[in-house]
Structure 1
Amino acid sequence: MQFAPPVSKNRIISTFPKCYNPQACLQMKEDWSAKAKLVFKDRATRQQGLDRLKMSKAVVVGDLNVGKTCLINRFCKDAFDRDYKATIGVDFEIERFELSGLPFSLQIWDTAGQEKFKCIAAAYYRGAQVIVTVFDMTDIKTLENTKQWLMEALNENEPNSCFIFLVGTKRDLLSPEECQRTERDAVKMAAEMNAEFWSVSSKTGENVQQFFFRVAALAFEDSVLKDMELGYSTAQIGDGDVLKVDKTQAAAEVKAVRKSCC
């Protein structure tokens, strides 16, 4: 049996997180689906397997210096470092949540934006449930490049298997008028990418926690519903089929790929 330590209070999600911008929201709902609610209720009643960890994978892609690492650090460590070092290959964090009383973990993979590291990063796109494409709201060229990043990540995954998000960073550096103009362009791009758009600031923390809560909730509900489609009973959902990846194992895999690639 795999036991999980208590979840931090600031990682408990009791209600379904809303979208930041209704114009770019692909999941127009304000609550869990009826099927998911049945699972939550049954599992809460039976108290079976609540110590089992179920995990989904999110990969974060985008150009160099758009703020991918700062975005992840703001959420995972509540920290902002203006003078960070560029990511070499890949890095990752694991965040644990409690959603409607059930445990869930999210792997957040931070990939390098430099061309020379693409061969390393591509190996970690596989098996993603969520693809987060990031651009710098002060540099419109990085928005144009998100399509290419998304295509490369999708090429490593099964069709229609991933939630897609388009995230604009550094909104604190724009005036309200500039932010509004950039968001209009981003909403159009999100529609072309079949993505949900979010505008955030890693420096101030604006919308960062709400964004990752949204990612976790959608990934968790999708995982539960897929288990139901596969014919698992509600008692089995979360008890097995666990993605058994801890930080030691994942770090070893990162080193192995770095040695064998590029």
Structure 2
Amino acid sequence: MEASTRHLVLAPDAAIDLQLHTTFSDGTWTPEQLIDSLVREQFGLVAITDHDRVDTAAVLQQLAAEKQLPLLAAVEMSTSWSGELTDVLCYGFDPEKNELGELAQAIAHRQRENTRQVCENLGKLGISFPNVHELDALLAQPSAQQPHALVALLKRLGYGTGEPSAGTLITEAGFSWATNDLATVVDAAHRSGAVCLIAHPGRGEGYTCYDGQLLDELRRQVPIDGLEVYYPAHTPEQIAMYREYAKTHGLLTSSGSDSHGPEKMPIKYRAELSQSLLERLGIQIS
């Protein structure tokens, strides 16, 4: 399939959003709902970055092409660096042939095994799942959705509605996010013709919160290509700092809402905010 971004030219003020999620990972948008919404809102370019779902990129390309919506091949990969969570956004790989797929499949396998182990440990604590089909359905969920689905299941069964919370229960039963090594993911992305940017570097909330010194240390170890500078949770001071850091070090910049559903809509970022990234991917801003 020919990429929908081939020969694409965008005006500097064209609306783009380069971090979006659907039910293929932990979103509530179905792919069709999200694409229809983006078309109605006249976005010029988007990226659907479902967590560790390289396998759905071709399907998304086809759905977007049917609605004539330019869509970057993209994924948000779950990684760790120095023992902490760091998500990375990978843009521009071939959906049909790349080296990210095996890493994403490894995440899915390890997360499923962790979910299974958590359920076994909850059983040892006296928390049982009377309907075995509910457990099977849980394990069939995308890896990024499984802990959320497990929390919801526990609450439906009457567990974790007070203290301890359902989230605490699964944590104490051994829940952990499955990740790949950051350097391994970046290397696979580069060998697949993609670029890698640190997602929401200033978000915190369990993820590494990067300042200039920490970014220097990261870049000495891993050849990261850029930063998601424009992100709803970033303060104006963080945006200014990341923008200046990227300019100083020749890094690419991206802009993403992290929309997972209609309750948090996509944001119309100006294409020129991510001009360096888009031009690297063969998209002209004029």
What TM-score do the two structures reach when normalised by structure 2? 0.29
